[in-house]
Amino acid sequence: ALILLCSSAAAVVVWKWLGKRQIHKKMEEARRTRDEGVKKMAKAVQQFREQVPSVQMDAILSLPLLELTGRLREGSLSPKTVLYTYLEKALEVTQQTNCLRHFIPECEEQLQEIQRQREKGLLYGIPVSIKDHICHKGHLSTCGLVQCLGTVVQEDSVLVKVLKRQGAIPFAMTNVPQSLFNYDCSNPIFGQTLNPFNHQKSPGGSSGGEGALIAGGGSILGIGSDIGGSIRLPSSFCGLCGLKPTAERLSAWHTCLLNVDMCSCPTPVPCALGPMARDVDSLALCMKALLCQEMFRLDPTVPPIPFNEEVYSSSASLRVGYYDTDGYFPLPPCMRRAVQETKEALQAAGHQLVAFSPPRIHYVMTELFLKTFFADGGRAWLDVFTGGIVDPSLQSQVNCCKIPRLGKKLLALILKPLQFLLLLLLKLKNVAMISTCRSVKEMWNHHHEIEAYRTEFIARWRELQLDVVLCPVLGPAFTTGYPGKLLTAISSTMLYNVLNFPAGVVPVSTVTEADEEELKLYQGCCDDPWDRMLKQAVAGAVGLPVAVQCVALPWQEELCLRLMKEVETLSCEK
């Protein structure tokens, strides 16, 4: 019996070893395929440079999107020249930041296809980068997970089809954090993406590859996704403009292969796809191009609402609600400074500013947002980590989800009496995840609570007769490794995912020496370990971008962009 037991144990060990070996082979193969693709693209770029040595690369890269589209449409620049210029720059940026997951070699075929189209679309000849999990035919959609490495996508996502119909050329897929559930940008397969302005810093996430590539100059327009800040946080960290639309405004069909994918599963806090670029006009043009009959035809669940140019171009004064803290996770001094300076600039420009306070953020964060994703205690999420391969940036969250339900209940019981003193149930991510839905009835109640909160929030908005809201966004860029330890610091962005309001980010300033000095006095809520950790995460950021967030009511993307444009214009005049 003892021999049989030992043999069984040995067999289990060998089986596990073989499984891990197979997983590592898959990961090595994926990296090898990526590296070979980079070499092939570098060779193609070199051949183009030899054929057309007179290309003024810097001049092309410096053109804003609106000017570039004009030059392409009139024929003074060729789509091929623009594509290879951005391919060359993307090669340079990814060498420095590891922002690309894969080049799309079919971009050459799309280049030929747009020249056969009878009408030039709004994005004619524009190279576009897309986030890893937005499906492109013939390529993987990995989400940084081993389980997705063997399945090649059979069909373009609706968004990619519409981009191509409008003349855009998808040329690269960008890196993401493992499982997308992190606002750093690291996974065990393709590694850590770095911020192009400071390689000690994160580009944000989960659209971090997009943030690094665009900020580094290797793409002029990118498509990301956002379920807690995943467009807005990389935009904040990398000094970009990014828009999270109302979730259903753009199609999210065919955006991932995961069983737990937040972009394809029905959830009360939905995922939104949206554009990222260097300026607000680029976002507006992208939205205008995507909100076309082709999208409404391909995805009948998208409301057929074309882009309202009149609202975006209006010069009427706005009634703007504002706040510089939500009272949950106080942000660094430079981010609050940015809101105050922007508020004063808007006031001076003739807009009406009204103090606004979002209700019950502690409740929203713990009972509405985190409970949506960890309703089952995180079991479905844990299932995606094949073979136990977990990126270090996610390890603390994974460990927490592995605590048995009885252990979580005991922790909750012990800590609950202390919450009014220590706010532990409100800020500690490990305890926040304890909140689960224990029955179908409780899940339905949870959905109802989210709808009730939306109603309450809109009622407060309308009481003040607001058009839009100006508020802070998390930043400046965190040092790599810190985002995974501070999940609940994203309250400034996640609020508008719970509400499903359009929200965008605009850079308005940079971190100054005075900001860095003031940070030394930062105590947050109660100078607890998480406040001190935030202080460490953002330290050493002098010169890095500082942004603000602009928000509108659902389906009012054009109004949100209008405020963003006004903020951008005023910040440029400073």
Instruction: Mark whether 513 and 548 lie in a shared domain.
Output: yes
pTM for this prediction: 0.94
In the chain, the amino acid numbered 197 is: F
Determine whether the annotation assigns residue 282 to a binding site. Answer: no
Instruction: Mark whether 72 and 188 lie in a shared domain.
Output: yes
Residue 15 resides in a domain = no
What's the confidence (pLDDT) of residue 420? 43
What's the confidence (pLDDT) of residue 408? 60
Instruction: Mark whether 372 and 402 lie in a shared domain.
Output: no
The residue out of 276, 304, 332 marking a domain boundary is 304
Residue 3 resides in a domain = no
Phi and psi at 320, nearest 5°, equal: -110, 120
Which residues have a Cβ under 8 Å from the Cβ of 571 and sit 6 or more positions away? Answer: 342, 345, 506, 507, 508, 509
For 109-145, write each residue's pLDDT tens digit. 999 999 898 899 999 999 999 999 999 999 999 999 9
Which of 347, 256, 305, 223 lies closest to 557, judged by CA? 305
Mean pLDDT of 87-103: 98
Residue 10 resides in a domain = no
Residue 549 resides in a domain = yes
Residue 401 resides in a domain = yes
Percentage of the chain lying above the pLDDT 70 cut: 90
Of these ranges, 242-251, 254-263, 428-437, the one predicted with the greatest mean pLDDT is 242-251
- Min mean pLDDT across 194-208, 313-327, 413-427, 466-480 is at 413-427
Instruction: Mark whether 276 and 372 lie in a shared domain.
Output: no
Residue 242 resides in a domain = yes
Structural domain including 514 reads 313-377+438-573
Determine whether the annotation assigns residue 228 to a binding site. Answer: yes
Rounded to the nearest integer, the mean pLDDT of the chain is 90
The residue out of 270, 304, 338 marking a domain boundary is 304
For 142-165, write each residue's pLDDT tens digit. 999 998 998 899 999 999 999 999
Residue 156 resides in a domain = yes
Mean pLDDT of 374-391: 80
Instruction: Mark whether 198 and 236 lie in a shared domain.
Output: yes
Active-site positions read 131, 206, 230
Mean pLDDT of 39-46: 97
Instruction: Mark whether 136 and 244 lie in a shared domain.
Output: yes
Instruction: Mark whether 215 and 261 lie in a shared domain.
Output: yes
CATH of the domain at 145: 3.90.1300.10
Determine whether the annotation assigns residue 475 to a binding site. Answer: no
Count of structural domains within the chain? 3
For 244-257, write each residue's pLDDT tens digit. 999 999 999 877 64
* CA distance to 89, 166, 176, 396, 528, per residue, from 95 (Å): 10, 30, 16, 29, 39
pLDDT tier at 388, thresholds 50, 70, 90 = confident
Residue 14 resides in a domain = no
Determine whether the annotation assigns residue 202 to a binding site. Answer: no
Instruction: Mark whether 409 and 462 lie in a shared domain.
Output: no
Instruction: Mark whether 428 and 444 lie in a shared domain.
Output: no
pLDDT tier at 83, thresholds 50, 70, 90 = very high
Instruction: Mark whether 262 and 402 lie in a shared domain.
Output: no
- Min mean pLDDT across 209-223, 342-356, 425-439, 559-573 is at 425-439
Instruction: Mark whether 99 and 36 lie in a shared domain.
Output: yes
In the chain, the amino acid numbered 500 is: N
Determine whether the annotation assigns residue 138 to a binding site. Answer: no
The residue out of 241, 271, 304 marking a domain boundary is 304
pLDDT at 45 over 60: yes
Determine whether the annotation assigns residue 435 to a binding site. Answer: no
Question: Would you call 367 helix, strand, or coil by DSSP?
Answer: helix
Instruction: Mark whether 354 and 383 lie in a shared domain.
Output: no
Q: What is the dihedral of CA 155, 26, 187, 147, to 10 degrees?
A: 50
